[in-house]
Structure 1
Amino acid sequence: MRLFSGRVAGKKVLALALVGGTWLGSAQAATAYTRVESNLRRVAAPNGLVVGVVPGGTLLTVACSGQWCRTSYQGRGGYVARTLLTPFTRSAPLSGVFYASCRAMRAANKAPIRLGREGYRVGLDSNSNGVACDQGDR
């Protein structure tokens, strides 16, 4: 998706366009683990300001393009070098199953659910271990 700006009938307009047949353009959303302790940088560059440090073995949701992956860790957004990540999954397709809470998932006798399985969502995986509503989640 790309943002275009221009003028129509003398008024400035902004438009979003689907480019290349995908919503993410050349970026792909996925999940990945950090191989080692990794710097979270403000910009996608080796000399970019470090805004945080992500411990090795941390599961992240990433959108990668080229050698850098956009992500967030502890509420801070930034970039991690792709070489420091191990892919875990590609984006899971949207499912028709939605659990509003771990209590609802447990009531349906479906807990726990692993990342990539129908019904999993990050909001139910408070300890970010890739398993929703396991013992560490409320």
Structure 2
Amino acid sequence: MADSVIAIGSDHAGFNHKQKIKAHLEQQGYTVKDFGTNSPDSVDYPDFAHPLAEAVEDGSCELGILVCGSGNGVAMSANKHAGIRAAICWTDELAALARQHNNANVLCVPERFVSEELALQMTDTFLKTDFEGGRHGRRVSKISC
């Protein structure tokens, strides 16, 4: 998957982890499309979550990572898009299950509640974990309205 384009975005409260995750991914050979923000100055999270979700939805980016203070605002915004399954994760196991059972295509990281180290670990797990399909595929097909 290192040939994949990964979308990343954040608001001001997620800016620090976003920068660390972006550098981490680039060091691993991923192409990263950064949707901003580009500073810790206060901004509105939907302004970054919606363009990222559109890029994942239209296939120009394979997966996305959004970071904000709680993970809630970016997840709510991204999940307004029919083709997006954004999952807030605060443990490595949740990041794996989001991919395995829910075919999540956007990882939402709550910077105020997870360390930088855990954010990087969850990112790696999310990107390297495959969807299991089977009974989970039937359930995922029922998510979109």
The two structures have a TM-score, normalised by structure 2, of 0.23
Structure with higher strand content = 1
The two structures have a TM-score, normalised by structure 1, of 0.24
Larger Rg: 1
